[in-house]
Structure 1
Amino acid sequence: MKTVLMNSIAFLALAGPAYAGPEVAVPNGGVAHADAGDPQAAPASKPNKAVFSTGVAKGRDLLDSAISTSAIGGERIEQIGARTLGEVLRTVPGIRVEDWGNGGYANYTIRGLPLAGTGSKWLQFQEDGLPVLEFGDLSHLNNDMLVRPDLNLARIESIRGGSASTFASNSPGGVLNFISKTGEEEGGSVELSTGLVDYDSQRGDFEYGGRLSSNLRFHLGGYYRAGAGARDPGASSFHGGQLKLNVTRDFTNGYVRVYAKLLDDRQAFYTAGPMGVTGSDADPTYTPIANFDPRTNNTISKNLPILLGVSIDPKILPNPLSQAWRVKSKALGLEAKFDIAAWTFVDRMRYSNNSSAVGGSQPIIVTSAGRLAAMFGGPGASFSYASGPNAGQAITNPATLNGNGLAAYTAFNTLGSPKADYFVNDFRASRVWKVAGGDLTLTSGVYKALQNFTTILSMDAGYQDFAGPNSALLDLRTAGGTKLTQGGVAAFSTFPFTVAGNRYGDVDHDITAPYGSLNFHKGRVSVGGSLRYDSGKVKGQRYGIELGGNRTRWRPFDINGDGVISQPEQVADGIQADMPAPVDYSYHYVSYSVGVNFRISQSFAAFARYSKGARALADSIYFTPIINSVTGKPAHRKDVYDPVRQAEAGVKYRTDTLTLNLTGFVANTAEQNFQVNAAANGVLTLVPFSRTYRAYGAEFEGSYQRGPFSLTAAATYTHAEIKSDSTNAALAGNTPRHQPTLIVQAMPVVDLGAVSLGSSLVYTGSSYAQDVNKLKMPAYSTVNAFIEYRPIDRITVSVTGSNLFNALGLVDVTQGSMPADGIVSVRTINGRTVAGSIRFNF
């Protein structure tokens, strides 16, 4: 292995045999840390006792920094027992996660900033100091689809608010930085894991790092896994893996590092499913229907065939519904840091070739099978099975279908981004002067990003039942026997039940952002400010019916090529390739942040900070009236970015055994976005809006360690309010949907040497299902637990349990109030799962 690695990176073997030990680097994109991958720089058990530097100009002691931060070590991440990245990040103070078990594709926000759309609009994900994507809420390629926690991961650092507004573009809420190991320690490990209870997963991980010479080190690792996951669709929905490599050449005054990542992974795509609800809007009781529990079932199954859809030109697209979503990424990066003549220079660069493909079924109308048949086929219409082992059989008693009697008019979606290439470079220079007995630190830099994003949406509509892992498509016939479907498909479009048609877009974002900061630290006082100027150019094309001009035509089209136009083929949604609409605009905005920190004593400090930032809008406005369909420009430049103003103040206390942090915050936000909810008739609809929000609250974070016992705990109180809504003035004064007042996390651990055990508990308070503030989603608590046993040196056997008490945790309810039939569409967290693993260290 060493021979191969040495040959592959021989160009780094330059002069300078001396080894430079770990020291605080100042990387790019708002993240600095000790050599970006030194796990010893931030011990997992006591992260707040090390220098922390994510989102600040220079790494420094936390008690001398006017920022709110957290860190989770790689070992602690494994102990959490999480099955998804979202479950890991739920334990970070201040962060709210809507995770329904997809493995990715979850929603994230922070400190009460709105979560009206999808992805992580206000919160940036980074790997080793550079953004994973420029925008965290791209419609079919979110940040967490490209990040996989594995044995390569040294720790996760986070910063909330504050300097994130100026030391990273498009991240006014905060930054999550996933930091890799870099071969500081010789050795590695191999881990094999498998699902034990309610969890079909087989996975293998490995990592190894060390020195190739006195000044050359490397780290290599990855994983591969397969299985059906936590919700068995009767087919393998999870398979794929990741491989990461970095090689570092150390010099007496710095280092150069190259790194690469290959990711090709497929994970389940869980959409909303039916659930019963009784009681009242203010005090509802949610109950799974017969033969379909959204904690363990999904709308996809082994009985769903490959469907055909219509795309641009028009072309035929296959949609393998049961194969979920797949993401690919090939990334190559370079990092260099040198101290020259009292200056520290750092440059980071990465190019990544990214793509995604998503297939799934999204129920539009869920009701009794008999009512649904009559709704679309007239009196006396009936269903028969169109797929699965019962294909062709008539359903003679729809009221007893699968024990629940339900069926759905469903959108079968082929989504994805065939190309989302991303280039990012960040150059920074900093210097410290001795001035008036203190340290004056100047930092300046230039950030450059090129984000291409292609998006495609092809939708069919048809019928399906709800039968756990055996769900099937349904054919519909009139009372006279006329077949209205083709293999369960009613139309190769979602017309007329949605105004949205099939879409295609190909747009480039070019972003340049010079920035700088000035910080002065003397004695107990630190004062600093930072400034950033973001300018962007956006150019491209988009195709779709929302743009007018008959750019999408509902027309007959022979989808299956059999020479016959069937009833469903009479309505095919084909995108006209010769009728594009342009995207052609530019924008610019200024962000700033100022803060002061006072170290009252050796163990106690207080700080305050005020910041203004913004988030440029990406594909969420491609198909809206914000961008003129003829000129490709907005009516006003301010329409293409959303500003955020934040203030925070807090205190920090730290001793050898106890750490306590308390922070109060307030944020004012303006947002243009869209969200999916149910219309008065129960049909899913897409709702655009323009709003302002205000949120205030407090965060608590603490840790305690004494002997073998340790405890980390956190709580976030948030009061959020819609201040105004230009599309629906009646929503002013309401609480944004899904926003709980209180979130609490705790993780007690006991380490007895040969045996370690602990638990991770997360409480999420109740919230409103929709912005109308009627139907409630109840509070819920999840309990994860782990036990590790080390029978001999270098071998660890462990068992982890997630959601051990099988809590019903609702993260999304489409309906705003209780429907007459008592059936709602919901997304939930995964149910109980238990896994076991064995690790060999060498």
Structure 2
Amino acid sequence: MTRLYLSAAIAPLLLFSSANAQETKPADSAVKSAGSKAAAEAVFSTGVAKGRDRLDSATSTSALRESEIEVLGARSLGEVLRNIPGIRAEYAVGEGNDNYSIRGLPLSGTGSKYVQFQEDGLPVLEFGDMYQLGVDMFMRADLNLSAVETIRGGSASTFASNSPGGVINLISKTGDTEGGAVQATYGLNYGEKRVEGDYGYKISDTLRMHIGGFYRQGEGPRDVGYTAYKGGQIKANITKTFDNGYVRLNAKYLDDRTPVYQFVPIRVRGTNDDPTFFGPTNFNPKTDSLLSPFVSNVVTLDRNNNIANDDLRGGQHAVVKSIGLDAQFDVGGWTITEKFRVADIGGGNLTIRPIAVNNATTYATVYGGVGGRLSYATGPLAGQAIANPAALNGNGLLTNALQLDTKIKSLDNATNDIRASRVWEVGGGNLTTTVGFYKSSQDYSTYLTFLNVLSDVRGDGGTSLINVATAAGVPFTQDGYLAYGLGNAFHRTYDMNYGVDAPYASINYHVGKIAIGGSLRYDMGKVRGTLFGAELGGGRVGQTSFDINRNGVISTAETKVAVLPLGQPGRVDYNYDYLSYSAGVNYRIAEQLAVFGRYSRGGRASADKILFTPAVNYNTGKLVDDNSAYDTVKQAELGLKYRAAGVTFNVTGFSARTGERNTQIVSGADGSATVLQIVRGYKAKGVELEAGVRHGPFSVTAGATYTDAKISSDAANAAIIGNTPRHQADLIYSLTPQVEFERVTVGVNVIGTTVSYAQDSNLLELPAYTLVNAFVQVRPTENVQLMLNVNNLFNELALSDSEQGSIPATGVVLGRAYNGRTASATLRYTF
């Protein structure tokens, strides 16, 4: 496979000969301030046929340049993207596996189903929502980053596969500006030490390079009791320019561990439509999690049904080794662009996730019967009885939790995108034609298991596992484990490959003030693989008795050990195809003003979300219903763009209809995990606003999205039709005013949202919030800069989600909160 892709990448280069074009100006040469006229006129190239001035394009686009990202003080990619209009980012999980959507498209599952994440124009993963493995887990923002370009809707459907909602593209520096920087960041009130740097160098008039990266280590913004962040990345590229184009080779190595902040118990009082959330005694949802050294030991049966140990302190471990080629040449009037990348991706994802929370006395009775006893299974008090469960840790709570263990055998992928464009003079205007072909191969080979444990609720990284025994002293748990599995559920292996072939074409005619264009893409997918797991049905057994601790006695917990039915594989062998299209018209009323309209239809392959569901016949590997292979999104847009010296203003009205097949994990009243199979339709309409003003030393940028979204159909639950999709607020917004003098820059970054519903039932409301992030930059000399960033300045409790759809009788929900106040100082030296 690799040889095939290398041949596809290299062959077009052999055809290139001299012509007259020069290399397209790379992103890091762009002027750094969006408020300036030069930046506003910067060519935009993501998700379109050919880079052009945004006022001449019938698309909704945004770009954050390096200096704009710098002042945000973002500690993760999600904290960067929350500032781009139209993007809904739920980033409370940490650095990876966060949730992203665009313009009211649903977040019924996890990850970024309808949004494609790219680095330098190619996807990092073909699918952004693979189970437990979101695409942002394998990306980092550091000094290599020149800009983040985004396109919402529009031609994203036809210039990238599996991206009907939009494309988010991280663009690297390429060394066209010589010099670099080194900097060190220190967490002032949380555990992080980080060093990073980058350097660009012109080796000759036609050869240049860039290299950069970072390394960091520390406990992080939450108290977990161990070093949770450890690792870094290095990226490099070298560019050779010719009279008629350029060739660029690039490489990336990422090896980084970060924690996964899952749901935690949060108390709530009031009513569903007027709740007040607060932390349990001795547990702060803004600074604590259930992660600790005392819940970290994982004991399970591996993919070969042998005893294996793991450690939750490994967290999200992302390992990426990639090399790529980027070339562009003018040949006989055609501009030929070739992008290729092959990536070796591994690692894993480990964390603890509660599925139910209740009073300790209740769990003692539920699992131990009348007179049931509790004791510490792990931690400094291991073996000690809990005499007064109601007073445990001052809050009296226990969680029924899952240890989530996902190991990556291969997420390797190879991607190639070649296109040819030509501009023809026709009837006094320019006719731009583009044809291209995209080919990718994406592995999805993983093992995952869910183990059932009982834990207390304690802050400061002190959470421990808890044992339960009957009044007579007969153990119900073993070392804190209720079961070494979850019945027949979520003990699986995937060994899949997804192949995508997609020819595409576009035509655009620009004459005078009018530009009219359209594009088509035809995706052809080939899905092949083997699955193991009892959830495939057919009499497969996924639970057995096994002497986990090898003491010769089978305990109650050891009668519930998850195994793989290795003699009964499930086969997956199907093809699919679908057509995407987009058409738009742009009218440039004046040099400073343009209006546009566009209609698009795009598709998204269902990928792993239909595996282990009845959608596939696992004997033949074929789909039971061909319609389950992909979902579609139909969008209409009408927008206005204004740009004058020091002022930008973009407003876009949108309407979208989405069909979706997905899965949700919900917890039942008895604490058992339930998988909800979703077959739904959604509709959304709204307005997206982006503005920027600069006058002298003062500037302000702002973004806002108003959305009216509804569930329009549901195959299983008609009662929720007409409801607002969970987590969807009417309004999300960001505002960044700042003042910049010669030696000092001061400003704030404000992001917020109005109320939303915790679940699709539309009962419990998640309160509105506004988070204020402050920044100060001091430049005592030309080459030295000291930066102070404070996120969540007022230490507000802001919830991203709640597992429960209404206030339970216990008055405790499982929710996720954004980090509390964190302050960091950075010292940078440029050269």
TM-score range, shorter chain: over 0.9
**1:418 and 2:393 are equivalent in the alignment:** no
Q: How does 1:312-331 map to 2 (within 5 A)?
A: 312-331=303-322
Say which is worse superposed, 53-62 or 309-318, in terms of deviation: 309-318
Distance in 1, Cα, partners of 2:20 & 2:744: 37
Q: Structure 1 residues 524 and 713 mapped into 2: Cα distance closer, same or farther (>3 Å)? A: same
Q: Give secondary structure in 2 for the equivalent of 1:144.
A: helix
Q: 2:288 aligns with which of 264, 284, 297?
A: 297
Q: Give secondary structure in 2 for the equivalent of 1:763.
A: strand
Q: How does 1:576-591 map to 2 (within 5 A)?
A: 576-591=565-580
> 2:385 maps to what in 1?
394
Q: Structure 1 residues 101 and 195 mapped into 2: Cα distance closer, same or farther (>3 Å)? A: farther
Does the 8 A contact of 2:532 with 2:564 survive in 1?
yes
> 2:5 maps to what in 1?
none
Which one-letter code corresponds to 2:65 in the other structure?
G
Aligned residue pair count = 815
Distance in 2, Cα, partners of 1:368 & 1:476: 14
**1:825 and 2:814 are equivalent in the alignment:** yes
**1:286 and 2:288 are equivalent in the alignment:** no
Does the 8 A contact of 2:757 with 2:763 survive in 1?
yes
Distance in 2, Cα, partners of 1:55 & 1:545: 41
> 2:258 maps to what in 1?
267
Q: What is the CA-CA distance between 1:686 and the residue it aligns to?
A: 1.8
Does the 8 A contact of 1:305 with 1:387 survive in 2?
no
**1:514 and 2:520 are equivalent in the alignment:** no
Q: What is the CA-CA distance between 1:41 and the residue it aligns to?
A: 6.4
**1:115 and 2:104 are equivalent in the alignment:** no
> 1:104 maps to what in 2?
96
Distance in 2, Cα, partners of 1:800 & 1:21: 43
Q: 1:452 aligns with which of 435, 443, 462?
A: 443
> 1:474 maps to what in 2?
466
> 1:247 maps to what in 2?
238
> 2:221 maps to what in 1?
230
Does the 8 A contact of 2:35 with 2:693 survive in 1?
no
> 1:700 maps to what in 2?
689
> 1:409 maps to what in 2?
400
Q: What is the CA-CA distance between 1:101 and the residue it aligns to?
A: 4.4
**1:750 and 2:742 are equivalent in the alignment:** no
Q: Give secondary structure in 2 for the equivalent of 1:675.
A: strand
**1:220 and 2:216 are equivalent in the alignment:** no
Q: What is the CA-CA distance between 1:347 and the residue it aligns to?
A: 0.7
Does the 8 A contact of 2:186 with 2:192 survive in 1?
yes
> 1:167 maps to what in 2?
159
Q: Give secondary structure in 2 for the equivalent of 1:790.
A: strand
Q: 2:29 aligns with which of 39, 51, 65?
A: 39
- Pairwise CA RMSD of aligned residues? 1.8
Q: Give secondary structure in 2 for the equivalent of 1:470.
A: coil
Q: Structure 1 residues 68 and 667 mapped into 2: Cα distance closer, same or farther (>3 Å)? A: same
Distance in 2, Cα, partners of 1:337 & 1:42: 25
Does the 8 A contact of 1:651 with 1:663 survive in 2?
yes
> 1:671 maps to what in 2?
660
Distance in 1, Cα, partners of 2:225 & 2:501: 48
> 1:608 maps to what in 2?
597
Q: Give secondary structure in 2 for the equivalent of 1:375.
A: helix
> 2:3 maps to what in 1?
none
> 1:789 maps to what in 2?
778
Distance in 2, Cα, partners of 1:677 & 1:774: 16
Q: Which runs of 5+ in 1 are unaligned?
A: 1-13, 25-33
> 1:64 maps to what in 2?
56
Distance in 1, Cα, partners of 2:17 & 2:698: 44
Distance in 2, Cα, partners of 1:832 & 1:21: 51
Q: What is the CA-CA distance between 1:315 and the residue it aligns to?
A: 2.4
> 1:572 maps to what in 2?
561
Distance in 2, Cα, partners of 1:538 & 1:205: 40
Q: Structure 1 residues 18 and 794 mapped into 2: Cα distance closer, same or farther (>3 Å)? A: farther
Which one-letter code corresponds to 1:40 in the other structure?
A
Q: Structure 1 residues 830 and 362 mapped into 2: Cα distance closer, same or farther (>3 Å)? A: same
**1:130 and 2:119 are equivalent in the alignment:** no
Q: Give secondary structure in 2 for the equivalent of 1:552.
A: coil
Does the 8 A contact of 1:646 with 1:667 survive in 2?
yes
Distance in 1, Cα, partners of 2:662 & 2:32: 38
Q: Give secondary structure in 1 for the equivalent of 2:410.
A: coil
Q: How does 1:724-763 map to 2 (within 5 A)?
A: 724-763=713-752
Q: How does 1:508-547 map to 2 (within 5 A)?
A: 508-547=497-536
> 1:156 maps to what in 2?
148
Q: What is the CA-CA distance between 1:529 and the residue it aligns to?
A: 0.3
What percent identity do the matched residue pairs reach?
A: 48
Q: 1:178 aligns with which of 170, 173, 181?
A: 170
Distance in 1, Cα, partners of 2:419 & 2:17: 26
Which one-letter code corresponds to 2:413 in the other structure?
Y
Q: Give secondary structure in 2 for the equivalent of 1:575.
A: coil
> 2:823 maps to what in 1?
834
Q: Structure 1 residues 187 and 682 mapped into 2: Cα distance closer, same or farther (>3 Å)? A: same
> 2:138 maps to what in 1?
146
Q: 1:598 aligns with which of 587, 598, 608?
A: 587
Does the 8 A contact of 1:587 with 1:638 survive in 2?
no
Does the 8 A contact of 2:192 with 2:216 survive in 1?
yes
Does the 8 A contact of 1:22 with 1:38 survive in 2?
no
Q: What is the CA-CA distance between 1:19 and the residue it aligns to?
A: 13
Q: Give secondary structure in 1 for the equivalent of 2:30.
A: helix
Distance in 1, Cα, partners of 2:456 & 2:370: 20
Does the 8 A contact of 1:309 with 1:414 survive in 2?
no
Q: Structure 1 residues 393 and 756 mapped into 2: Cα distance closer, same or farther (>3 Å)? A: same
Does the 8 A contact of 2:342 with 2:413 survive in 1?
yes
Which one-letter code corresponds to 2:568 in the other structure?
M
Q: What is the CA-CA distance between 1:311 and the residue it aligns to?
A: 2.8
Distance in 2, Cα, partners of 1:665 & 1:124: 19
**1:87 and 2:79 are equivalent in the alignment:** yes
**1:767 and 2:756 are equivalent in the alignment:** yes
Does the 8 A contact of 1:18 with 1:215 survive in 2?
no
> 1:6 maps to what in 2?
none
Distance in 2, Cα, partners of 1:463 & 1:284: 28
Distance in 2, Cα, partners of 1:728 & 1:84: 37
Q: What are the superposed Cα offsets for residues 45-73 of structure 1, whole Å, 9 maximum, x if unpaired? A: 54422121211111111111100010001
Q: What is the CA-CA distance between 1:44 and the residue it aligns to?
A: 4.8
Q: Which runs of 5+ in 2 are unaligned?
A: 1-13
**1:350 and 2:341 are equivalent in the alignment:** yes
Which one-letter code corresponds to 2:678 in the other structure?
F
Q: Give secondary structure in 1 for the equivalent of 2:300.
A: strand
Q: 1:686 aligns with which of 656, 675, 679?
A: 675
Q: 1:808 aligns with which of 775, 797, 800?
A: 797
Q: 1:369 aligns with which of 344, 360, 364?
A: 360
Distance in 2, Cα, partners of 1:795 & 1:837: 11
Say which is worse superposed, 422-431 or 623-632, in terms of deviation: 623-632
Q: What is the CA-CA distance between 1:554 and the residue it aligns to?
A: 1.4
Which one-letter code corresponds to 1:331 in the other structure?
S
Q: Give secondary structure in 1 for the equivalent of 2:293.
A: coil
**1:306 and 2:297 are equivalent in the alignment:** yes
Q: What is the CA-CA distance between 1:338 and the residue it aligns to?
A: 0.5
Distance in 2, Cα, partners of 1:628 & 1:243: 44
Say which is worse superposed, 138-147 or 304-313, in terms of deviation: 304-313
Which one-letter code corresponds to 2:162 in the other structure?
N
**1:442 and 2:421 are equivalent in the alignment:** no
Does the 8 A contact of 2:738 with 2:748 survive in 1?
yes
> 2:609 maps to what in 1?
620
Does the 8 A contact of 1:17 with 1:214 survive in 2?
no
Q: What are the superposed Cα offsets for residues 807-842 of structure 1, whole Å, 9 maximum, x if unpaired? A: 111111011111011010001111110000100101
